[in-house]
Amino acid sequence: QWPALSGTFVTTSASYDQHVESIYGGIGLLVTNDKAGEGTLNTTTVSGIYAYQLKLGRKFSLRFGVQATYFQKSLDWSKLTFGDMIDPRRGFVYQTGDVPRGGSVGNVDFSAGVLGFSENFYIGFSAHHLTEPNESLVTGNSPLPMKISGHAGAVIPLNNNKYSTNEATISPNIMYRSQGTFQQLNMGLYINTKNIVFGAWYRNKDAFIALIGIQTDVVKIGYSYDVTISKLTNASGGSHEISMGINIPCKPKKRSFRTISCPSF
């Protein structure tokens, strides 16, 4: 993120999820590492996720999810600069007299959410950081504020002729997030063909996002670029994201009648 700035942000994430018939839902694992300021601030999180699915009929289902997370955050004091290190003529030449105070913290975090969906529509709500865990790297307490999110989307076929081989669809989406005094509204859409997806998003007062992806029944690969439109336009260099997903096929269980197990997008 923002490669044109010194001390850029680099985030790496990997996840796995699987439906488990015996527990009427699914389980997942999410691991994320975030480096800021060229490794000055490092955050690693490991999350376990469980989702329970409740089918309300053949065409509508609810999913309830819970997530437990352990996070470890560390600060490299050797990469920090202080006022007493500066010589008026020669710049940073002195050793600081500031004594490191702490530098790392680990804690647990909990989140929950609900999703309602049919084959071509979904709406959901989630709450992260329910216990507002302390993430202070020094003495004292610095609670992580609760984050509230709401999102909705739909899939609209572009060709309703059942005999056509054209599988193109358009999918409008909207997301709202609030955390402390921060609020964000994202609006966008995807255009899906059989093997290619295009997307465009607008993040309120911050960025336009363009994306392209290639998808098969097994693999999905995507790339997105954020065009900054805030006051950082000329300095940030935007943001790049590359993603890859692998779908491992499984043998479906025979049912006496068909129900909607997941949205089609």
Rounded Cα gap, residues 120 and 93, in angstroms: 62
- Paired with 29 in beta bridges are 16, 48
Predicted confidence at residue 264, as pLDDT, reads 46
Predicted confidence at residue 80, as pLDDT, reads 76
Hey, which CATH number is domain 1-79+101-154, 2.40.160, 2.60.120, 1.10.3470, 3.30.2000?
A: 2.40.160
CA angle at residue 174 from 28 to 115, to 5 degrees? 40
Q: Within the chain, which residues score under 50 in pLDDT?
A: 256-259, 264-265
CB 40 within 8 A of CB 79: yes
**In the chain, % of residues over pLDDT 70:** 83
Give domain limits for the chain. 1-79+101-154, 162-250
Predicted confidence at residue 163, as pLDDT, reads 55
CB 72 within 8 A of CB 53: no
Predicted confidence at residue 5, as pLDDT, reads 60
Q: Is 29 helix (H, G, I), strand (E, B) or coil?
A: strand
CB 120 within 8 A of CB 264: yes
The total of other beta-carbon atoms located within 10 Å of residue 100's CB is 12
Predicted confidence at residue 256, as pLDDT, reads 46
